[in-house]
């Protein structure tokens, strides 16, 4: 399994650093975030070290994805809340603090708690959309 000895999440997987474990299987580990945005803020990580989502093998991403709804239901049941955000950041500029891919589940208690989002939506231009669809779909093969 790919590991980085300097990576805090790899050290958690290896058992060198403790965590508040919520779930574990052969490929995936989930635990409470130690810097929570709200009560119940949790992380799902692959046990193997990959920096970003784009670098992850598809089957490992699927293994993480399979855990997400079950963990989310459990967090909602435990907190008594029904709103949450699933967040995954890639790269420093996108607020990725630990360079080991991870998925946040962040319960939302009210407008002030949990994840705050700056969402400066533009308008999709048709002249831009068509070549973009072509570029992305051809790159997915
Ligand atoms: Zn790692």
pLDDT tens-digit series, residues 129-139: 999 999 999 99
100 occurs within a structural domain: yes
Tracing tokens 């973009």 back to the chain, one arrives at 132
User: How far is ligand 1, taken at its centre, from the CA of residue 106, in Å?
Assistant: 21
95 occurs within a structural domain: yes
Q: What are phi and psi of 82, to 5 degrees?
A: -120, 0
* Dist CA 99 CA 89 (whole Å): 10
Query: Around Cβ 40, how many Cβ atoms within 10 Å?
Result: 23
Residue ranges making up the domain that contains 25: 8-139
1 occurs within a structural domain: no
User: How far is ligand 1, taken at its centre, from the CA of residue 30, in Å?
Assistant: 14
Report the number of distinct structural domains present in the chain.
1
Which CATH number characterizes residue 114's domain?
Answer: 3.30.428.10
Tell whether pTM > 0.75.
Answer: yes
90 occurs within a structural domain: yes
User: How confident is the model over 41-59, as pLDDT tens digits?
Assistant: 999 999 999 999 999 999 9
* Dist CA 138 CA 111 (whole Å): 40
């Amino acid at each position: 399994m790919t590991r980085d000895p300097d990576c805090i999440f790899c050290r958690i997987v290896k058992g060198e650093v403790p965590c508040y474990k919520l779930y574990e299987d052969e490929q995936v580990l989930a635990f409470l975030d130690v810097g929570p945005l709200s009560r119940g803020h949790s992380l799902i990580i692959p046990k193997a070290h990959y920096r970003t989502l784009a670098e992850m093998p598809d089957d490992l991403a699927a293994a993480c994805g399979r855990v997400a709804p079950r963990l989310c239901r459990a967090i909602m049941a435990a907190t008594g809340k029904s709103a949450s955000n699933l967040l995954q950041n890639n790269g420093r500029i996108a607020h990725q603090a630990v360079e080991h891919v991870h998925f946040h589940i962040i319960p939302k208690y009210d407008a002030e708690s949990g994840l705050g989002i700056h969402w400066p939506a533009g308008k999709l231009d048709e002249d831009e959309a068509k070549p973009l669809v072509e570029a992305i779909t051809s790159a997915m093969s």
